[in-house]
Amino acid sequence: MDSGKNQLRIVDITKAFPSDQEQIDVLDCINLSVSSGEFVSILGPSGCGKSTIFNLIVGLIQPDSGTILLGDVPIHGVTGNFAYMQQNDLLLPWRTVIQNVVVGAEIQSKQKANLTAKATKLLEWVGLKGFEKSYPSQLSGGMRQRVALIRTLLLEKEILLLDEPFGSLDAITRSSMHQLLFEIFQEWKKTVLLITHDIEEALLFSDRVYVLSDRPATVKDEVYVGLERPRSVTNLEFISYKQQLLDTLEVEVAKCRGLIDF
């Protein structure tokens, strides 16, 4: 395991949110890590706390206990280390595509002239040439996701945190987004932490997959995916990994619905 300066480690993180009735226990002693150049996915039942993990990593919220380290440096509560694509695209309706793409990098006070040129190139790369001056309401779901992805890339961080980036897309659009993601990972040499509900999506790319339990989330399984890339969903080994993850997840979802008591 890489102990280099960009290894991200989440160590014994526990988090609860206050509520009117009783507090909501969300994360229970979570341990995760991502090494430089790795692709790691997180699977888990809806509402178990996956997005909360990302919000902790990027410093939007603080853990109740535990540590988050980048290399050897504790970073909880510190912002600006990661490129974060949140679960919904959060495009600003009053800004055009190009203005939406540069907004995050602008806030990080990067040079505006350079940014617009880079953004224009990236938009062309994802097939959005000619839509620079459109507004988000004039785009399809897949186009909006591509805009959000480019905005994330323009932050120029080594580690990408992608929270269900393709969750709402149809199968064909999703598949073309997968090709983009694969290129970004392999050719741009990014480190990726991906939250997804889709087991195949996790297995297509990941070096490792974490499976979380229902809330309060614990790490139920960590699967090393020893398959060559590019991967095929019809490969027998792929199908066997899929079955293994499905079995673990189904138990968690059944527990979540009260179908099994453990």
Q: Given the rule CB under 6 A, which residues bind ligand ATP?
A: 17, 24, 26, 44, 46-52, 87, 215
Nearest to Mg ion of 38, 163 (CB atom): 163
Residues of this chain, 77-116, that bind Mg ion according to CB under 5 A = 87
Q: Which stretch binds Mg ion (CB under 5 A): 48-56, 204-212, 213-221, 246-254?
A: 48-56
Tell whether residue 6 is a contact of Mg ion (CB under 5 A): no
Ordered strands of the 208-212 beta sheet: 83-85, 159-163, 191-195, 39-43, 208-212, 219-224
In the structure encoding, which two tokens stand for residue 107, read together? 């806030």
Binds 17: which of ligand ATP, Mg ion, none (CB < 5-8 Å by kind): ligand ATP
Query: Which residue lies nearer to Mg ion by CB, 118 or 215?
Result: 215
Please choose which of ligand ATP, Mg ion, none residue 47 contacts, taking the beta carbon within 5 to 8 angstroms, the exact cut-off set by kind: ligand ATP
Please, what is the minimum distance in Å from the beta carbon of residue 115 to Mg ion? 29
24 or 29: CB nearest ligand ATP: 24
Nearer to ligand ATP, 24 or 254 (CB): 24
* Residue 163: CB minimum distance to Mg ion, A: 6
Q: Is 168 in the site for Mg ion (CB under 5 A)?
A: no
Considering only residues 105 to 164 of the shown chain, the ones binding Mg ion according to CB under 5 A are none
The site partner of 223 among ligand ATP, Mg ion, none (C-beta below 5 to 8 Å per kind) is none
- In the bound complex, what is the minimum distance in angstroms from residue 31's beta carbon to ligand ATP? 17
Residue of the chain from 51, 116, 168, 244 that contacts Mg ion (CB under 5 A) = 51
In the list Mg ion, ligand ATP, none, the entry touching 9 (Cβ below 5 to 8 angstroms by class) is none
Q: Could you tell me which residues come within 8 angstroms of residue 221 by beta carbon, excluding any fewer than 6 positions away?
A: 209, 210, 211, 245, 248
Positions in the binding site for Mg ion (CB under 5 A): 50-51, 87
